[in-house]
Amino acid sequence: MSTPDTGVVVGDDGLARPAWAAVDPLLREYYDTEWGMPVRDEQGMYERITLEAFQAGLSWATILRKRPAFREAFANFDPDVVATYDDADVERLLNNAGIVRNKAKILAAINNAQATIKLRDKGGLVDFVWSFQPDETPHPHTVDEIPTKSPESLALSKAMRKEGFTFVGPTTMYALMEASGIVDTHLVDSHRRGSSGVWPS
């Protein structure tokens, strides 16, 4: 059952979700348990930055289905391990049908692992990303009202590039901020609105 004036879909469990999370069981589970929850550990934040970069031009469902293979291929997104990957590892990854075989994105993942390690001298990746949390969060009633970037995501993108990160454009950084709880773009009538504890419902 869809509610046109709010943009949510009420599922067979009686819970309201956006259409993108209402049908596919994998997306629904991700939405209900993970998306928008605060990420406060380096490995988790590095994983999300990496997967958001790989997602560019693709559907999130594609990335989510491949995430177990990504985790295996990238040492569970341990930056200390990925930072040491060499040409042989790049070749191995390019031959791995379980992941997205894009050389530029693979090289970005390795580069960003190295940049993550360097950021430890400045307080670390997590605090760096969270320092761009805005004073307010959107209150969208429909998916069309959700921004795709913000002044904060533009600033974060610029700052990340300055620290040596790649594939961190403002739209990608806004998606990161949504996924990791820095902003809450759950629809106002979704059952997940305010679930992060960072923002009131």
Binding residues, by number, are: 186
Specify the pTM: 0.94
Q: Is 8 helix (H, G, I), strand (E, B) or coil?
A: strand
Residue where the block lists tokens 């990160």? 165
Nearest of 91, 100, 94 to residue 60 by alpha carbon: 100
Residue where the block lists tokens 């209900």? 32
Distance CA 200, CA 155 (A): 24
Distance CA 99, CA 5 (A): 38
Q: Which two tokens stand for residue 89?
A: 């590892």
Distance CA 47, CA 40 (A): 12
Name the phi and psi angles at 67, rounded to 5. Answer: -60, -40
Own/partner long-range contacts of 133-141 (Cβ < 8 Å, ≥24 apart): 133/177, 133/182, 133/183, 133/198, 134/182, 134/183, 137/183, 137/184, 137/185, 137/199, 138/183, 138/184, 138/185, 139/188, 140/7, 140/185, 140/187, 140/188, 141/5, 141/6, 141/7, 141/187, 141/188, 141/189
Binding residues for Zn(2+), by number, are: 186
Point out the residues that are catalytic. Answer: 30, 52, 60
pLDDT tens for the chain, 201 residues long, are 444 455 899 999 999 999 999 989 999 999 999 999 999 999 999 999 999 999 988 999 999 999 999 999 999 999 999 999 999 999 999 999 999 999 999 999 999 999 999 999 999 999 999 999 999 999 999 999 999 999 999 999 999 999 999 999 999 999 999 999 999 999 999 999 999 999 987
What CATH number is given for 36-180 in this structure? 1.10.340.30
Model confidence over 99-128: pLDDT tens digits?
999 999 999 999 999 999 999 999 999 999
Domain positions in the chain are 36-180
